[in-house]
Amino acid sequence: MPEQLNTRVEDCYQLAESFFKRSFPRPVVSLKLRGQKAGVAHLHENLLRFNPQLYRENTEHFLKQTVAHEVAHLIAHQLFGDRIQPHGEEWQLIMRGVYELPPDRCHTYAIKRRSVTRYIYKCPCADSDFPFSAQRHSLVRQGRRYLCRRCRNTLVFSGEMRVE
């Protein structure tokens, strides 16, 4: 776990404790998040998960904004309970009042999408391209059949693959 990340989480908690004049239980912090999200706060588990790739690529802004954003979710939940909106006025109060940051709902980090191979299946119909995922292609190889909705013929792998 990068030390800067843990330090920033602790700093956010200390700011909240000073502001609200009460203590808050510290969360478990994890770098086990993939995909498009920069961070996730699991309210009932008191758990913060962060995306290590986005953290590495956007360290300064990530530490300042994303960590505070996720900590604010936990603080809002502990102060106001389950019945608040995730990015509602209580969360916004914490972002503005405690952390003096804009209450941005979403990050603008560039996300590298992994390439995906599509397996092209065809039928006798004109212009019949059916791109299958690797999972669906595997099912066909195991014996599953898929039919064209127009001509009701079995779709057949053309031997073509396309990387998207």
CB atoms within 10 A of CB 54: 24
Q: Is the CB of residue 125 less than 8 Å from the CB of residue 89?
A: no
Buried-exposed string 10-39: b where 16+ CB fall within 10 A, e elsewhere: eebbebbeeeeeeebeebebeeebeeebbb
**How many whole angstroms separate alpha carbon 156 and alpha carbon 130?**
9
73 is in an annotated binding site: yes
Instruction: List, in sequence order, every residue forming a beta bridge with 118; answer none if it has no partner.
Output: 162
70 is catalytic: yes
Buried-exposed string 144-163: b where 16+ CB fall within 10 A, e elsewhere: eeeebeeeeeebeeeeeeee
Catalytic residue, from 10, 45, 57, 70: name it: 70
**How many whole angstroms separate alpha carbon 126 and alpha carbon 161?**
19
End-to-end CA distance of the chain: 33
69 is in an annotated binding site: yes
Binding positions are 69, 73
Binding positions for Zn(2+) are 69, 73
**So which residues are the catalytic ones?**
70
